């Protein structure tokens, strides 16, 4: 089948979670024999074309080709690639119909851009069914910047209309299912559970990261690892505040933070004030292909240490990757979906902002290697059972065939 896939971003060498998810779904659908045309507003050509084994069943088209860094620095360009660019993408897709017939439209949904609006418009013009894969659901309508508040409210109104009219909405959990029913007004029969996944062959126990360990000069250290965007909601400041207690008993521990984000400099400043800067290694974002080597170094991995409704219904890609590598996860209560991090089974939960408890838990995991191995083994078993991309995309393949058949009834 010919699938038209509308997303806000795509790369064969992604770093951001939503782009990782899109890449995995697109790649695996192509392996099942589908032809995919992926339309995105902007794509960094250097990162998009680094993949040497680009499947010939995937055609990726972007309106512009600015680097991620350029888009993030230029507020006007950032706004345009989230809104107006989708009008031109729609025109591009309609021109393509002259040489290619599509069978179905799929969209990666996020409340801050118009990818799903574009997908809805095209599905109705072309008379096709629309499948919406939600990545994030909750529009944050509070912001100190008045213009940003107005923008978010406008996007919310627009997206409520189109999500409600989708033919199928793929949701990550029962909690998110209830949210879509309540907030977006989507009927239950349109909702299908479809959790985030992980490549269990790429992310697995036993990945050899010795070269990375040597490069970072961490040969004899116990490593507490975080991988992903460094934002306030992750609660990484709690780890730094716990370090003075931890290093008094275990001075060979190192915190490895892989990624960038708006909170990074604040964490560096905090570590400097607490005189623990030398115990923390910051590494800039790496291509997704390299992430398994970094995760393999970890003795303990860090999930969200801030609780929120958003975190409590989430299946973060980073945590799935940790678990697939057989690593125990340390998070706070309501720091991830309770269906993902199960306290005492595949991870340990602590109370938010309780520095002594966090420090003692870190020390407990460092001391008890049998416990960390048991938690890690259980984590691997859990993702193999519930979050293997191959099984998830097989389910999606069935949904696609069912929806295409609906058109021809």
Task: Tell me how far apart the terminal alpha carbons of the chain are, to the nearest angstrom.
Answer: 17
Helix, strand or coil for residue 77?
helix
Residues 63-80 pLDDT 10s: 998 887 788 888 899 999
pTM of the model: 0.90
* Nearest to 3, CA basis, from 148, 124, 123, 115: 123
Pair 281, 216: CB distance under 8 Å: yes
C-alpha dist (Å) from residue 101 to 1, 3, 36, 79, 239 = 9, 9, 11, 31, 53
CA distance 407 to 104: 10
C-alpha dist (Å) from residue 325 to 48, 292, 342 = 26, 8, 17
Across the chain, what does the average pLDDT equal? 91
For the chain, where do the domains classified as CATH 3.40.50.2000 start and end?
2-197+388-407, 210-386
pLDDT average, residue stretch 48-56: 54
Please give the CATH superfamily to which domain 2-197+388-407 belongs.
Glycogen Phosphorylase B; (3.40.50.2000)
- Residue 139 or residue 21, greater confidence: 21
Percent residues over pLDDT 70 in the chain: 95
**DSSP 8-state class, residue 343:** B
The domain 210-386: what is its CATH number?
3.40.50.2000
Helix (H) or strand (E) holding 324: helix 317-324
**DSSP 8-state class, residue 263:** T
Q: What token pair was written down for 33?
A: 């024999």
- For the cut 50, the answer to whether the pLDDT of residue 355 exceeds it is yes
CA distance 209 to 253: 17
Pair 138, 111: CB distance under 8 Å: yes
* Residue 394 CA, distance from chain mean position: 20
pLDDT of the residue at 47: 59
pLDDT of the residue at 264: 94
Among 9-18, 46-55, 330-339, the range scoring the smallest mean pLDDT is 46-55
Pair 10, 375: CB distance under 8 Å: no
pLDDT average, residue stretch 282-306: 92
Q: What token pair was written down for 216?
A: 């970072």
pLDDT average, residue stretch 222-231: 93
Residue with tokens 């021109």: 95
pLDDT of the residue at 147: 78
Residues 115-137 pLDDT 10s: 999 999 999 999 999 999 998 88
pLDDT of the residue at 54: 58
């Amino acid at each position: 089948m010919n699938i038209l896939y509308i997303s806000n971003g795509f790369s064969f060498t992604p770093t951001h979670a939503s782009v990782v998810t899109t890449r995995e779904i697109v790649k695996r659908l192509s392996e099942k024999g589908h032809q995919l045309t992926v339309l995105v507003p902007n794509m960094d050509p250097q990162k998009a074309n680094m993949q040497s084994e680009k499947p010939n069943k995937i055609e990726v088209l972007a309106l512009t080709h600015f680097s991620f860094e350029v888009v993030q620095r230029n507020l006007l360009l950032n706004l345009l690639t989230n809104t107006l660019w989708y009008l031109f993408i729609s025109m591009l897709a309609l021109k393509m119909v002259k040489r290619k017939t599509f069978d179905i439209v799929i969209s990666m949904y996020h409340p801050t851009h118009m990818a799903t609006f574009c997908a809805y418009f095209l599905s109705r013009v072309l008379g096709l069914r629309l499948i919406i894969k939600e990545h994030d659901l909750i529009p944050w309508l509070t912001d100190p910047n008045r213009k940003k508040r107005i923008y978010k409210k406008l996007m919310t109104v627009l997206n409520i209309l189109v999500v409600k009219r989708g033919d199928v909405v793929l949701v990550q959990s029962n909690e998110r299912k209830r949210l879509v029913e309540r907030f977006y007004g989507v009927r239950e029969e349109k909702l299908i559970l479809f959790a985030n996944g992980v490549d269990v062959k790429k992310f697995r126990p036993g990945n050899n990261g010795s070269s990375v360990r040597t490069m970072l000069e961490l040969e004899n250290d116990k490593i507490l690892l975080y991988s992903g965007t460094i934002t306030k909601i992750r609660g990484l400041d709690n780890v730094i505040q716990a370090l003075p207690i931890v290093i008094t008993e275990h001075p060979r521990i190192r915190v490895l933070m892989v990624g960038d984000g708006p909170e990074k400099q604040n964490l560096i400043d905090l570590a400097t004030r607490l005189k623990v800067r030398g115990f923390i290694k910051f590494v800039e974002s790496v291509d997704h292909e390299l992430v398994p080597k970094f995760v393999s170094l970890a003795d303990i991995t860090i999930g969200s240490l801030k609780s929120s409704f958003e975190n409590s219904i989430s299946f973060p890609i980073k945590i799935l990757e940790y678990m697939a590598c057989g690593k125990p996860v340390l998070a706070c209560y309501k720091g991830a979906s309770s269906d993902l991090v199960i306290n005492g089974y595949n991870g340990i939960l602590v109370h938010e902002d309780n520095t002594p408890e966090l420090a003692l838990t870190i020390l407990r995991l460092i001391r008890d290697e049998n416990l960390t191995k048991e938690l890690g083994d259980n984590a691997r078993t859990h993702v193999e059972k519930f979050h293997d991309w191959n099984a998830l995309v097989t389910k999606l393949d069935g949904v696609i065939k069912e929806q295409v058949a609906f058109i021809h009834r």
